């Protein structure tokens, strides 16, 4: 009995110890969640510090801890463009903020339209006679577009600034697939619909090249015009037309070359930069670290300056990222999720609906589901306005068709009215290894589609016919929306991608402007007086749990990026992006996908988180039906 008693006491002790550990973990997690929430009490007089160590996005994605654990990669920080612009605008009119500082050392970009929106906000700060300063070890295209709006641009003496311009190469796998005896069966409509070319060709088609040259040429002209207007002293021709001679003339010293070309104003270390900011914003009385200055970070500043919620509500639904079937997102446009958000808002007495699109498209079925949900709001007889961000092409344009008016920036990318699907079959590879299919068929569709033995001509014909029918549906929706004939839409369709300026000329866009102009038009159409309404973004705000994970997981990643952001780090980043593109292309070939309205030509901003979805569109369901 004595021995049993001792065992019992040991078990009780273990139980009590585990209970104590779990309680400590629980309260630690609770404390972490509570402290992860930014507090207005953290706001101080001095500079507004925007330490943009990641990407600027239309809609911030939630961190999936399990996916992060499995991938072994730290997620990159994301900053919603509306939050950045709102913070800067509040800083322009608040006496507590004496300067705005952007640390772009780990900045990864975000697209021309977003850069223009942030740059315009910085101009408003300077118009309020407050200085704007930027610092970086290396400036790329997007960072330079922001820095052009600053009153002082600082560069680390060991860093540099390089302007590459839009464009580049992508990989084509046609010869590789042929060597592997993989038959990539392509079904498409659209002369310019080049999303399937990497699987069927070894190089870019003449039609795709024509489209790319026109698109990237327009984007490049807009970029140059914006930078020259914001920073007239910059010698862009020297930097972009003869870059090797420019660098060589400065003995390979990129920082000295940047000064000579007017890309930056001053060279200095992070400490020297901080000392300069301290002259403008005051020294940090809490921190004696060299180069410390008084500042307030983005999150506390936003907490101290919440969005207005008074008056009538104008709804805003965000369609950002690839459009996929299911509940994916935020950051990815899951058709079921977005349709659910729209349906939940039907009883919210919205006076108008703004559809903010920043998507290259994706699933036909998901795009149509979103379109139908928008039409249910239109049935309430409220204005429906589309505001295009960086990209609103293919499926991104499909969901825009219910709009009463479409707004876009000259740098917006739209169009890509076309449709495709690609399915790999392995009959040649199987035959090479001595595997052949044989059997009995009662109809031409028996046992089809057969990925190993190949498709029958009837299956090929059915699948191509369904693609052509989908394209006809696309044309009809655009024609009805834009008051054009189907023939007119087909002439500007065929998968061709347009910049916002050209899109307005050919009738795909109604008016230039960002989301502010779109909202003002919607409010006027709804009969709302100025300052009598507010924007209501559909969807839940990020949870405290997400804020905790983000602060825990993204800090080290941003520090790593900041410590290695010179020219060679930029080259390595391009290499990683190329490898990521290869993975995406292979996934697009091998995963089960339905009919796609997706724009391959559209340049996309760096993604902070790649979400893998398994679409179940009509095309995929048809294939599954045949396989039963």
> Which residue is it, tokens 């002369």?
191
Please compute the mean of the pLDDT values over residues 216-242 and round it to a whole number. 93
Q: Which of 54-68, 232-246, 378-392, 565-579 has the lowest mean pLDDT?
A: 565-579
- Of residues 584 and 550, the one with the higher pLDDT is 584
Could you report the per-residue pLDDT of 179-224, keeping only the tens digit for each?
Answer: 888 888 888 887 777 778 888 889 888 988 888 899 999 999 999 9
Is 193 one of the catalytic residues? yes
Could you report the per-residue pLDDT of 527-576, keeping only the tens digit for each?
Answer: 998 889 999 999 866 555 555 555 555 454 455 445 445 655 655 555 55
User: Which DSSP string corresponds to 116-137?
Assistant: HHHHHHHHHHHHTT--EEEEEE
Whether pTM > 0.75 for this model: the answer is yes
Dihedrals phi, psi of 476, to nearest 5 degrees: -65, -45
Q: How far is 420 from 128, CA to CA, in rounded Å?
A: 51
Pairing of strands 413-415, 497-499: antiparallel
Q: How far is 134 from 258, CA to CA, in rounded Å?
A: 14
Could you report the per-residue pLDDT of 403-443, keeping only the tens digit for each?
Answer: 999 999 999 999 999 888 888 888 888 888 888 888 887 88
**What average pLDDT does the structure give for the chain?**
84
User: Which DSSP string corresponds to 451-467?
Assistant: TTTB--HHHHHHHHHHH
pLDDT at 574: 58
Contact 320, 337 (CB under 8 A): no
> Which residue is it, tokens 């040649």?
428
Please compute the mean of the pLDDT values over residues 131-157 and round it to a whole number. 95
Q: Which of 102-116, 273-287, 334-348, 601-615 has the lowest mean pLDDT?
A: 601-615
Is 228 one of the catalytic residues? no
Closest by CA position to 132, among listed 158, 156, 98, 178: 98
Structural tokens at position 561: 């990026």
3-state secondary structure 532-598: CEEEEECCCCCCHHHHHHHHHHHHHHHHHHHHCCCHHHHHHHHHHHHHHHHHHHHHHHHCCCCCEEE
pLDDT at 617: 43
> Which residue is it, tokens 């500082």?
101
pLDDT at 5: 64
Contact 424, 445 (CB under 8 A): no
Contact 495, 190 (CB under 8 A): yes
Element (H, E) at 160: strand 152-161
Residue of 130, 193, 351, 536 marked catalytic: 193
pLDDT at 342: 96
Length of the chain counted residue by residue: 628
Q: Cβ-count burial of 2 within 10 angstroms (0-12 exposed, 13-18 middle, 19+ buried)? A: exposed
Residue of 77, 105, 387, 394 marked catalytic: 394
Dihedrals phi, psi of 235, to nearest 5 degrees: -95, 80
Instruction: Map out the domains of the chain with their CATH numbers.
Output: 44-163+231-304 (3.90.226.10)
pLDDT at 192: 74
Which regions of 399-508 does DSSP assign to beta strands (E)?
405-408, 413-415, 419-425, 497-499
The sign of the dihedral angle between the CA atoms of 84, 396, 113, 488 is: negative
Q: How far apart, in Å, do the first and last CA atoms of the chain sit?
A: 66
pLDDT at 23: 63
Q: How far is 263 from 234, CA to CA, in rounded Å?
A: 6
Q: How far is 561 from 108, CA to CA, in rounded Å?
A: 9
Alpha-carbon distances of 501 from 357, 389, 507, 551, rounded to whole Å: 17, 13, 10, 40
Closest by CA position to 404, among listed 365, 340, 352, 361: 352
Dihedrals phi, psi of 79, to nearest 5 degrees: -130, 120
């Amino acid at each position: 009995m004595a021995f049993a008693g001792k065992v019992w006491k040991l078990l009780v002790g273990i139980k009590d110890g585990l209970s104590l550990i779990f309680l400590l973990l629980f309260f630690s997690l609770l404390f972490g969640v509570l402290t992860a929430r930014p507090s207005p009490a953290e706001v101080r007089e001095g500079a507004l510090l925007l330490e943009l160590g990641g990407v600027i996005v239309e809609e911030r994605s939630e961190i999936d801890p399990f996916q992060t654990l499995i991938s072994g990669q730290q997620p990159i920080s994301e900053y919603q463009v509306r939050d950045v612009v709102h913070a800067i605008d509040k800083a322009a009119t608040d006496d507590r903020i004496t300067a705005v500082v952007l640390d772009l050392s780990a900045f990864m970009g975000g697209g021309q339209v977003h850069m223009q929106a942030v740059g315009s906000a910085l101009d408003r700060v300077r118009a309020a006679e407050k200085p704007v300063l930027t610092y970086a070890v290396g400036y790329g295209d997007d960072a330079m577009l922001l820095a052009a709006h600053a009153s002082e641009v600082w560069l680390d003496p060991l860093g540099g600034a390089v302007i590459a311009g839009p464009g580049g190469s992508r990989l084509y796998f046609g010869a590789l697939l042929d060597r592997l005896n993989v038959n990539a069966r392509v079904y498409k409509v659209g002369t310019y619909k080049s999303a399937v070319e990497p699987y069927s060709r070894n190089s870019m088609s003449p039609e795709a090249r024509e489209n790319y040259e026109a698109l990237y040429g327009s984007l490049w002209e807009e970029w140059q015009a914006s930078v020259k207007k914001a920073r007239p002293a910059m010698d862009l021709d020297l930097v972009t037309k003869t870059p090797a001679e420019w660098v060589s003339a400065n003995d390979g010293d990129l920082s000295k070359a940047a000064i000579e070309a007017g890309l930056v104003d001053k060279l200095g270390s992070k400490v020297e930069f901080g000392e300069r900011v301290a002259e403008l914003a005051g020294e940090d009385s809490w921190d004696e670290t060299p180069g410390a200055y008084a500042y307030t970070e983005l999150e506390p500043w936003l907490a101290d300056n919440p969005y207005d919620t008074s008056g009538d509500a104008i709804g805003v639904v965000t369609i950002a990222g690839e459009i996929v079937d299911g509940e994916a997102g935020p950051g990815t446009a899951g058709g079921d999720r977005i349709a659910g958000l729209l349906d939940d808002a039907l009883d919210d007495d919205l006076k108008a609906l703004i559809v903010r699109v920043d998507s290259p498209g994706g699933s036909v079925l998901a795009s149509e589901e979103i379109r139908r949900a928008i039409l249910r709001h239109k049935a309430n007889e409220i204005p429906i306005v589309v505001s295009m961000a960086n990209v609103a092409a293919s499926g991104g344009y499909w969901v825009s068709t219910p709009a009463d008016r479409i707004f876009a920036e000259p740098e917006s990318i739209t169009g890509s009215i076309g449709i495709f699907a690609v399915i790999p079959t392995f009959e040649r590879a199987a035959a090479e290894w001595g595997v052949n299919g044989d059997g009995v068929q009662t109809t031409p569709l028996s046992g089809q589609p057969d990925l190993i033995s190949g498709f029958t001509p009837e299956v090929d014909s059915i699948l191509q016919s369904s693609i052509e029918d989908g394209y006809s549906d696309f044309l009809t929706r655009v024609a009805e929306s834009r008051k054009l004939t189907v023939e007119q839409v087909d002439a500007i369709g065929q998968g061709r991608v347009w910049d916002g300026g050209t899109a307005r000329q050919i009738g795909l866009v109604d008016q230039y402007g960002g989301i502010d102009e779109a909202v003002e038009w919607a409010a006027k159409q709804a009969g709302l007086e100025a300052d009598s309404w507010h924007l209501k973004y559909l969807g839940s705000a990020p949870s405290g749990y997400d804020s905790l994970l983000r602060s825990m997981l993204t800090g080290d990643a941003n520090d790593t990026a900041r410590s290695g952001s010179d020219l060679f780090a930029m080259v390595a980043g391009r290499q990683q992006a190329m490898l990521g593109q290869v993975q995406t292309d292979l996934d697009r070939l091998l995963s089960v996908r339905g009919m796609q309205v997706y724009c391959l030509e559209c340049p996309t901003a760096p993604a902070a988180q790649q979400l893998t979805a398994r679409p179940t569109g009509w095309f995929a369901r048809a294939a599954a039906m045949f396989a039963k």
